Structures are given as C-alpha cells and as structure tokens.
Amino acid sequence: MTLWHLPVLIWLGAPVHVSYIPPHSPTSSYIDSDRAHPSSITVQTWPAHFALAPCPVTIQVRAIPLDTDREIHVSADGPLFYRASAWSINGATAPRTHRVVWRDLPAGTYQVIATIGPPGRVRTRAMSSLELL
C-alpha cells in the first residue's frame, strides 16, 4: 500500500493557508495495512495542537476493522463542551479512513477519543489532545 502525504487545508476563520504534515510528525501516524496489527487505530486532528477558537476542527480516524466491528465512535470532551459522532461500519469490508469536521468549537482543552468495536463494546481506542485558545 502506497501512502501519500498531501497538503492539508486548515481554515481558522482567517485567510486559508496550506500546511504540510510530515510523514513522521509526532501528531500524525499512518497505518500500513501490510504491517499493522488488527487492533491498530489512530486519530489525527487539524489543527494539530493549538488554534484560536471558535474554529472548525477536522478529525480523521484510521482503523483496520475486524469482521465483528460495526461502529466507530469519535468524541471531543472539554470542560464546558462535548461533541461526538459515530459511524456504522460493515466489519472488515469497511473503509479504513473516516473524517468528521466539527465547526465552531469553542475555546477549551479537548480530549479527542476514537473507538472501534462491536455495538455497545470497545475493542480498541486512540486518544489525542487539542487546545483551542
């Protein structure tokens, strides 16, 4: 599987600019299907660590689903605000990348958590943090 590292558009309510996420950046990780363990799941956020609020936040989840997996759940939990999204998936035939854009997230420090598993259960999870100033 060839992995391409393309520019990512970041919109912060100001002029749009393009930012490149390097292949070995500490805020990004990629799943290579030939080497990844079936329990692998990663979560990336754009902006990566800090941004001025309110702003849109893009969350990308990459996972290798098993036959029993039927749901991917993503949440951003802050001290005064909570946001979540979920996707129904069709086991091992499901796409490996899912992306959600949450617009106008207010200021705060967020714990972003992505989970995958059968309905009502968590097989594996990934976490990331994000601070909106």
Query: Could you tell me which residues come within 8 angstroms of residue 42 by beta carbon, excluding any fewer than 6 positions away?
Result: 29, 30, 31, 61, 62, 63, 114, 126
Q: Specify the pLDDT at position 77.
A: 95
Q: Specify the pLDDT at position 2.
A: 42
Q: Specify the pLDDT at position 38.
A: 54
- Least confident range from 31-35, 55-59, 124-128: namely 31-35
Residue of 48 and 11 predicted with greater confidence: 48
Could you read off the pLDDT of 13-37 as tens digits, one per residue? Answer: 333 333 333 343 344 444 444 344 5
Average of per-residue pLDDT across 122-131: 91
**Hey, where are the domains in the chain?**
8-132
Angle at 53 between CA 50 and CA 54, to 5 degrees: 140
Tell me which amino acid residue 125 is.
Answer: R
State if pTM tops 0.85: no
Could you read off the pLDDT of 66-117 as tens digits, one per residue? Answer: 999 999 999 999 989 999 999 999 999 999 999 999 998 899 999 999 999 9
Architecture of domain 8-132: Sandwich (2.60)
Angstrom distance (rounded) from CA 88 to CA 103: 22
